Structure 1
Amino acid sequence: MNQVYLGLGSNLSNPRQQLMCAHSALQKLPQASVVKMSSLFASKPMGPQDQPDYVNSVVTLKWSGTPIEMLDACQQIEQQHGRERKDERWGPRTLDIDILLFGQHIIDSQRLTVPHYGMKAREFVLYPLAELQPDLQLPCGTQLSSLLQQVPKNGLYKLD
């Protein structure tokens, strides 16, 4: 089994509820076990600023399937929650689930890049990730703690 970290985000259709429902859906996947979720965090949107703020979280779980099976499961959960894929890269969405880390694997395929290409610079990923695993070391050898020293919170805050 691989330890997997997923980044969850939403800024449409009751974002807090979207993330809680996604967590519940992940718990029900037959290949998943020991599913834990960080606190919920509010963050400013990436890209166009004329959209609502995001609610973000990180989920960790043990996964017995392949990375592509994990990707397919995440995309299915997104679709079940009304996710529409559009040309606008960082536009508003009901639910976004990104595979941040898949064990110590480094994956660079047409469908999947792991570690997630933007995770080292995104406060809405790093701070919730640190809540779950503060001593985490990325597959490249970088310590999460050193990334936290380099990436400011940019208005990120924990929700009640």
Structure 2
Amino acid sequence: MRYAIGLGGNLGDVPATAARARGLLAAESVVVEAAAPWLATAPIGGPLQPPFHNSAWIVSCGYGPHGLLACLQRTESACGRVREVRWGPRTLDLDLLLAEDGTIVTTPVLALPHPRLHERLFVLLPLAAIAPDWVHPTLHQRIRDLAALPPSAFHLPP
């Protein structure tokens, strides 16, 4: 099964932390097939904090959505992620965004597609670079088309 993962962070060397995460995921048979370029963005919400570095991955694995979510959360913890403040600074954030086959999940612990995927340009732009033709299963729009919408809710640094 193939999934889109959003990743980001704003503490430490985020690309190096992501490289470590990639190795940890590979050890759990989660293979990164494609990686988007990094995008620097201003934080949205939360306390005063440094800018974020965001990217996206396409991964393949034998896990269902809940199994992959558990794997992503273990990887975040192993990479120093501490959940203290909502929308606060972090070493690494790994978000399960979308399943290529359009799987929809709505449970207390997981919503797939990610419920704010279509509202976050800092997620859509990297994802459009590696999966432009994937379709949002509830909006029925391609990722490239969602990424082309006006970015009025987001501030992207120059």
Q: Report the TM-score when normalising by structure 2.
A: 0.89
Q: Deviations over 1:89-123 (max 9, x none)?
A: 11101111000012311100011001001110111
Paired position in structure 2 for 1:65:
63
Alignment check: 8 A CA contact 1:99 1:116 kept: yes
Counterpart in the other structure of 1:16: 15
Conserved in 1, the CA contact under 8 Å of 2:32 and 2:57? Answer: no
**Counterpart of 2:24 in 1: which secondary structure?**
helix
Task: Describe the superposition over 1:111-154 as per-residue Cα deviations: whole angstroms up to 9, x where unpaired.
Answer: 10010011101111101001101222111212223212224263
> How far did residue 29 of structure 1 move?
2.1
Conserved? CA contact 2:135–2:141, under 8 Å: yes
The 1:132–1:44 alpha-carbon spacing in structure 2 relative to 1, beyond 3 Å, is same
In structure 1, the residue matched to 2:95 is 98
Query: Which residue of 2 is the match for residue 35 of structure 1?
Result: 33
Task: Count the aligned residue pairs.
Answer: 154
Does the residue aligned with 1:22 lie in a helix, a strand or coil?
helix
- Is the 1:82–1:94 Cα contact (8 Å) retained in structure 2? yes
Unpaired runs of 5+ in structure 2?
none
* 1:82–1:33 distance in 2 versus 1, CA, 3 Å: closer
CA apart distance, 1:35? 2.5
**Cα separation, 1, equivalents of 2:157 and 2:68:** 28
The amino acid that maps onto 1:21 is R
Aligned to 1:76: 74
For residue 141 of structure 2, give the secondary structure of its aligned residue in structure 1: coil
Distance 2:22 2:150 in 1: 26
Deviation at 1:83, TM superposition (A): 0.7
**2-side partners of 1:151 and 1:97: how far apart?**
25
SS of the residue 1:83 aligns to: coil
What is the distance in 1 between the residues matched to 2:132 and 2:13? Answer: 29
The separation in 2 between residues aligned to 1:61 and 1:123, in whole angstroms, is 20
Question: What displacement does 1:156 show?
Answer: 5.2
Match for residue 128 of structure 2?
130
Distance 1:84 1:34 in 2: 24
Unaligned runs of 5+ residues in structure 1 are: none
Q: CA RMSD in A?
A: 1.7
Residue 6 of structure 1: aligned partner? 5
Q: 1:34 to 1:59 in 2, by over 3 A?
A: closer
Once the two structures are overlaid, the 10-residue window that deviates more, 112-121 or 16-25, is: 16-25
